[in-house]
Chain A
């Protein structure tokens, strides 16, 4: 690929190594020139406003002292600093707006969790309106229950806590292993199992729905969690099993039946009735999300990508899985982001001083925990165009309320579940995992693939040789980067970055754009 130079000089800090030391957080915040620093400062004030708002909510103080994972939320601004490294102009604003709404969404989940939790807010009336939904579930089967609240309690407890503090899962992994769960299980479900064993989940909700995604580890964790939910707390739990070979026509009827059964289960336990008007309104918003995401990906296929990195993926996670068209707020955020993406593209805004490689990020990714994708851009000029978890829903679902569409809607909800994040490419065979990657490379003009190799993920490791062989045939530069997701004791941040550094120096024979961040002393950082 021809090197693409940025004609604009970056305002403020030119190199970024000065921001790091051996401490738990950054030495100082980045100087981005007056205009962008003031914008970042304004977003920081806004963030503290949200955090203070949450801390004044019902049950917060009790929850803070009761739940170990709650302490992580005091350091949300540190997470934002990780995701805005080196950014200026439109891309800084895109990141802030999108992560701002992810933060707001998680803050709302925390507020709701603590409000209904028997040990904190203990609001029984509210708790009875809540359905606990598996973190790895697409909440499509909740689209027609506007009076109910779908609560993914693992999100604040495990997932987003780990975005803020890389060590947030360690205690729970140790608890799980003390109770005999092997160390080579994916640390994500292992952490969730550990939280349940440690009795550190909020206890609330009229009923719960678990799914068979994303993997065998997830099913192991769900088994333990469901046992405690049902036997100790009397919360009935439905198991929704999505088919593995989700592209096959002969499994679709079964998948739609599973959705019907989940809806019937929720109706039976909550007394709520499925509302088609609410469903089709939500379906319109899901379609809008799909159209917008596809346009962002189209722009990322050009020489001037705008919405990239871990935040692109996180925003898609929140918008599709957690929200799934139910929030009326998200379309406005989408519009704001769209305006900035278009403006950035017209202004030919670049995120680094030069782009040397266009990269697709594939595999099970730990990039949420570390600022790897932004680091790749700043340190080596490698632009992450998209990642596996963002390549989800590709078709629009029916959005008009007709008798025929009501039947089709079950198939659409099943389609959304089958094609959810961390599922549509890890389940369904080599066609979706290997073959589709090369299609995306072609479509997005990528000359490089960074393969995250999650050492505890059995679904992907089997395809290692296939990826290597086929990348070689196509002349794609394939970088393997091993990690162990949310257990930083196995692969530290620098051990992860070193694999990329070695490839860039020895195979690509390149020198870093910013040598001050080739090695960062942030292994102890949150």
Chain B
């Protein structure tokens, strides 16, 4: 029982540390603007749009 408790606490602690690193060093935003956004922008630029006034 104690062992399971320790494993759960360790997993939570590791998850907390990892998430905090992502948060503090702004890795979430760096990933979005440098990796995801350029791919999406290329996709939008390729798309034909029905431009009309």
Is chain B found bound to chain A in the same assembly?
A: yes
- CB–CB A77/B28 < 8 A: yes
- Give the contacts of B2-50 with A (CB-CB under 8 A): 19-20, 23-26, 28-30, 32-34, 36-37, 40-41, 43-44, 49-50
Q: Does A254 contact B (CB under 8 A)?
A: no
Determine the distance from Cα of A44 to Cα of B20 in the docked complex, in whole angstroms.
Answer: 10
- CB–CB A199/B26 < 8 A: no
Determine the distance from Cα of A44 to Cα of B23 in the docked complex, in whole angstroms.
Answer: 8
Q: Does A197 contact B (CB under 8 A)?
A: yes
Determine the distance from Cα of A224 to Cα of B51 in the docked complex, in whole angstroms.
Answer: 12
Q: Does A41 contact B (CB under 8 A)?
A: yes
Interface segment out of the listed A64-72, A138-146, A303-311: A64-72
A27 surroundings in chain B (CB, below 8 A): 26
- CB–CB A199/B36 < 8 A: no
- CB–CB A41/B30 < 8 A: no
- Given A74-B32, A75-B32, A77-B28, are A199 and B37 neighbors across the interface (CB < 8 Å)? no
- Given A71-B40, A74-B37, A75-B33, are A197 and B51 neighbors across the interface (CB < 8 Å)? yes
Nearest chain B residue, comparing its CB with the CB of A67: B44
B26 surroundings in chain A (CB, below 8 A): 25-29, 81
Q: Does A11 contact B (CB under 8 A)?
A: no
Closest Cβ of chain A to B16, distance in Å, is 9
Nearest chain A residue, comparing its CB with the CB of B53: A179
- CB–CB B28/A24 < 8 A: no
- Give the contacts of A195-220 with B (CB-CB under 8 A): 197-200
A75 surroundings in chain B (CB, below 8 A): 29, 32-33, 37
Closest Cβ of chain A to B32, distance in Å, is 5
Nearest chain B residue, comparing its CB with the CB of A200: B49
- CB–CB A78/B29 < 8 A: yes
Consensus secondary structure, chain B interface: helix
- CB–CB A28/B49 < 8 A: no
Contact partner, B33, options A25, A199, A200, A232, Cβ 8 Å = A25
Determine the distance from Cα of A175 to Cα of B37 in the docked complex, in whole angstroms.
Answer: 20
B32 surroundings in chain A (CB, below 8 A): 74-75
- CB–CB B49/A71 < 8 A: no
Closest Cβ of chain A to B46, distance in Å, is 11
A348 surroundings in chain B (CB, below 8 A): none
Closest Cβ of chain B to A223, distance in Å, is 10
- Given A65-B43, A68-B44, A77-B28, are A197 and B52 neighbors across the interface (CB < 8 Å)? yes
Q: Does A83 contact B (CB under 8 A)?
A: no
Q: Does A452 contact B (CB under 8 A)?
A: no
Q: Does A526 contact B (CB under 8 A)?
A: yes
- CB–CB B44/A71 < 8 A: yes
- CB–CB A29/B23 < 8 A: yes
Closest Cβ of chain A to B24, distance in Å, is 5
B25 surroundings in chain A (CB, below 8 A): 28-29
Contact partner, A74, options B20, B36, B49, Cβ 8 Å = B36
- Given A41-B20, A75-B29, A228-B52, are A24 and B34 neighbors across the interface (CB < 8 Å)? yes
Closest Cβ of chain B to A216, distance in Å, is 18
- Give the contacts of A211-243 with B (CB-CB under 8 A): 224, 227-228, 232
- CB–CB A26/B50 < 8 A: no
Determine the distance from Cα of A75 to Cα of B29 in the docked complex, in whole angstroms.
Answer: 6
A333 surroundings in chain B (CB, below 8 A): none
- CB–CB A26/B29 < 8 A: yes
Determine the distance from Cα of A180 to Cα of B53 in the docked complex, in whole angstroms.
Answer: 10
Determine the distance from Cα of A175 to Cα of B49 in the docked complex, in whole angstroms.
Answer: 11
Given contacts A25-B33, A65-B43, 7 further A-B contacts (CB under 8 A): A31-B24, A68-B44, A71-B41, A77-B29, A197-B52, A199-B52, A227-B53
A sample of 18 inter-chain contacts (CB < 8 A) reads A23-B30, A25-B26, A25-B29, A26-B29, A28-B25, A28-B26, A29-B23, A48-B28, A64-B40, A65-B40, A71-B41, A74-B32, A74-B37, A75-B29, A197-B51, A198-B51, A199-B51, A526-B33
